[in-house]
Structure 1
Amino acid sequence: MLQDKIFYLIAHYGYIGIFGTLVLGIIGLPVPDEVLMTYSGYLISQGRLSYILTLLVAVVGSFAGMSVSYFIGRKFGYPLLEKHGRKIRITKEKLDHTRRWFKKFGKIGLTLGYFIPGVRHLTAYFAGISGWRYRTFLSYAAPGAILWAFTFITLGTYLGKHWLAVTEAIHKYVLLGFVLLVLVLILIWYLKRKPKTNQA
């Protein structure tokens, strides 16, 4: 099972395992990123890893993965993802949906998208495809990487041996959270447009 292999890599290779698996997971390979980080938090609670070092490595690893995705999108654009995306779980349907969503909510999506599986794997690609400057991409992606890593590593640290049960419960409500977030963003977008419509 892939998850067990991830646990093995982190338990035996520590920070190198965390960095490598996070980079691959963010790019789009089937790595359970939140599980990886809460497990790292559990190892911290057992005294096997340092909290500060683990957090630093996780932030750098996740942002490195986002940067790779950004530069792929910047250099090769939409056609490459459309043609080969299925190899890394990126279907044409996901691409079309995310492209529409990114046009409206790209900046906030880049920051908060870390918390939404599927979305975080695509937002960096679309930042590159959309021609964002790397400095702009950095200013929105970096805070998301820090907040995301801090949340799940800290959660795993405080949960201790209960980390897996709680993480699985969180995953059950991810879709609901995503739907609610999209509805809130649509409402904000509508309310901002409404005065302009009235003035016209």
Structure 2
Amino acid sequence: MRDTILHIIANYGYIGIFVSLILGIVGLPIPDETIMMLAGYLITKEHLNYFLTILVAFSGSMIGMTVSFIIGKRLGLPFLEKHGAKIRVTPERLKHVEKFFNRFGKYTVSIGYYIAGVRHFSAIFAGISNWSYGTFALYAFPGGLVWVLVFVNLGYFLGEHWHHFYKIIHHYMRIALFIVIIGAILWGYFIYKKKKKRLCKVKIKS
């Protein structure tokens, strides 16, 4: 399956990237990160344009997320529990994502891209939870853009060695994500303390 998808990307370029990412996000067994890293490598060979590749990959990902969101909103959890196996939505996967969703809330939609199994169904749970599309887009779109930029740029900078690093990167994805989350929390706390200190100084002067 992986080799077939990579062959499609290599031969059909932007259309292959666009369609593959839609289907991969919806839940088909398509290696999303591999597609984007290959696209990054093809940019170095001047087979693809950098900015157009980012736009196409981001658009495909967001359409896939939107389709998943609509599935969750229109069909709901009972339907997925009964018929979800047809699109690889097994009861075990649903329970796993539900726990993750309940634990991390809205940020699951943003950070779930980096965790296989979570990114495919986080949008579904957002729909099931009856989010408005505006709220969903607010969390899904920025996360999706960063996800696309990370993997396309990895493929670009790794060049011909991109496929050697993929398994290592994928294996340590959760560790990397944990580090990013901790870093973001610490940075947010630093900014909060800095603003609080400024407010205190303003009050003292006044």
Instruction: Classify the TM-score, shorter chain.
Output: 0.7 to 0.9
Q: Does 1:39 align with 2:38?
A: yes
Q: Deviations over 1:82-137 (max 9, x none)?
A: 12222222220121222232123121111011111110001000000000000000
TM-score normalized by structure 2?
A: 0.83
Match of 1:93 in 2: 92
Q: Is the 8 A contact 1:30 1:88 kept in 2?
A: no
Aligned-pair CA distance for 1:177 = 4.9
Q: CA deviation at 1:7?
A: 1.3
Give the alignment of 1:3-152 within 5 angstroms: 3-152=2-151
**Residue 81 of structure 2 aligns to which amino acid in structure 1?**
E
- 1:169 corresponding residue in structure 2: 168
CA distance in 1, matches of 2:90, 2:174: 18
Aligned residues: 183
Separation of aligned partners in 1, 2:105 and 2:30: 24
Contact kept? 2:97, 2:117, Cα under 8 Å: no
- Structure with higher Rg: it is 2
Kindly indicate whether the alpha-carbon contact (under 8 Å) linking 1:116 and 1:174 is maintained by their aligned counterparts in 2. yes
Unaligned runs of 5+ in 2: 183-206
Cα deviation digits, residues 173-193 of structure 1 (max 9, x gap): 235556x47x96xxxxxxxxx
| Partner AA of 1:33 in structure 2 | D
RMSD of aligned alpha carbons: 1.9
Structure 1 CA distance for aligned equivalents of residues 144 and 21 of structure 2: 11
* Alpha-carbon distance between aligned partners in 1 of 2:175 and 2:81, rounded to the nearest angstrom: 27
